[in-house]
Structure 1
Amino acid sequence: MTVSTLTIRRYPDAALATPCLPVSSFDEDLKSLVDALYHTMKAAPGVGITAAHCGLAYRIVVIELDELGGRCDYINPELIWSSPEQAEFTEGSVSMPGVTETVTRPRHVRIRYQDLSGHTHEESLTGFPAICMQHEIDQLDGIFWLQRLSRLKRERLIKKWQKLNR
């Protein structure tokens, strides 16, 4: 069986700043795309990926974390609640490999999403899974993770990224 992977767009590709559209067709093509995203994420390697990372403007997130029991596919995810309590975690991106920085986000969130069959679910996430989901939902909204950093940290990281890619 051939495993298909997609091409990951690299920062500052315009696709990474494009808000994604909701998925409306829950069919075999969607399942194939989500599988391709998963294999692309594993090859990167990463713990999360969106369709936007591969230049596809659809609201699809794939995350694989032990805390979540392994691979989780989220179609049309949205944040419906976030805690006032904050947490700091180191973040990076499959679209900007080799650079990371500490980002502060809400420690607890509640999300609503659809599964691959189109059924709607709600889920509460805490700690690192909550941070990952916020990071990926930001990406679906056209907000690259660097935008969550101070201007000084962002500029320093962009210079480091440019140096890595010379």
Structure 2
Amino acid sequence: MAVLPILIAPHPTLKRRADPVQEVDDEIRQLTEDMLETMYDAPGVGLAAPQVDISKRVIVLDCANEGEAPQPYRMINPELLWTSEQPDTREEGCLSLPEIYADVTRPAACKVAYLDEQGQRQELEAEGLLAVCIQHEIDHLDGVLFVDHLSALKRNMLMRKLAKQQAGKKPNKKASVNA
């Protein structure tokens, strides 16, 4: 396993729609393991392949509470089957926008279909943090960042803050790619 460099916005890969995975093979399984290691190292609760500069429809998540055993999900070609009409507003952050947070309103629950690491189709109904995380990571696969859900004024303010913050960092490779 390996910790992969995490892209920082406004990297162009983060704004592109990721390609579907054609076959769940050892390369994809290794990618999910490396992504989980990267996510845990950051630390974060979700990571999409475009965030590590791989334009594939692959996400990993682990929304276990602190002190609980890890509950990792590896989702290949995830697709939302439905979302609830009830909204949920939560503060979101992103490993590709370090130290940037904002309240985002999303559906409170969702149902997702995906392929697991064995290539088997799975479905999962989620609510709360897990539902938010699934929607956030699927957004990444479509080239959408959480700040894209905000007003233009708020988004521009946060992106200027990120640019200023990144310009002030020392040219240390780890500091420039990890949250």
- For the aligned pair, the TM-score class normalised by the smaller chain equals over 0.9
Residue aligning to 2:123: 122
AA of the residue aligned to 1:131: V
Asked if the contact 2:88/2:106 (under 8 Å) is kept, the reply is yes
AA of the residue aligned to 1:99: I
* Within-5 A mapping of 1:66-145: 66=64, 70-145=71-146
Question: Could you tell me how far 1:164 is from its partner in structure 2?
Answer: 1.0
AA of the residue aligned to 1:37: M
What SS does the aligned partner of 1:49 have? strand
The answer to whether structure 1 residue 156 and structure 2 residue 157 are counterparts is: yes
Mean alpha-carbon deviation: is it higher for 62-71 or for 13-22? Answer: 62-71
What SS does the aligned partner of 2:144 have? coil
In structure 1, distance between residues paired with 2:25 and 2:122: 18
In structure 1, distance between residues paired with 2:93 and 2:70: 22
TM-score for both structures, normalised by structure 2: 0.88
Residue aligning to 1:25: 23
In structure 1, distance between residues paired with 2:149 and 2:27: 33
Find 2:53's aligned residue among 44, 52, 55: 55
Mean alpha-carbon deviation: is it higher for 66-75 or for 45-54? Answer: 66-75
Question: Could you tell me how far 1:122 is from its partner in structure 2?
Answer: 1.1
Question: Could you tell me how far 1:157 is from its partner in structure 2?
Answer: 0.7
Question: Could you tell me how far 1:69 is from its partner in structure 2?
Answer: 6.0
The answer to whether structure 1 residue 15 and structure 2 residue 13 are counterparts is: yes
Asked if the contact 2:63/2:129 (under 8 Å) is kept, the reply is no
Change (3 A) 1:54 1:145: same
The answer to whether structure 1 residue 165 and structure 2 residue 166 are counterparts is: yes
In structure 1, distance between residues paired with 2:62 and 2:130: 9
AA of the residue aligned to 2:59: V
Question: Could you tell me how far 1:33 is from its partner in structure 2?
Answer: 0.9
5+ residue gaps in structure 2? 168-179
Residue aligning to 2:4: 6
AA of the residue aligned to 2:111: R
TM-score for both structures, normalised by structure 1: 0.94
Mean alpha-carbon deviation: is it higher for 58-67 or for 95-104? Answer: 58-67
What SS does the aligned partner of 1:99 have? strand
Residue aligning to 2:63: 65
5+ residue gaps in structure 1? none
Asked if the contact 2:57/2:78 (under 8 Å) is kept, the reply is yes
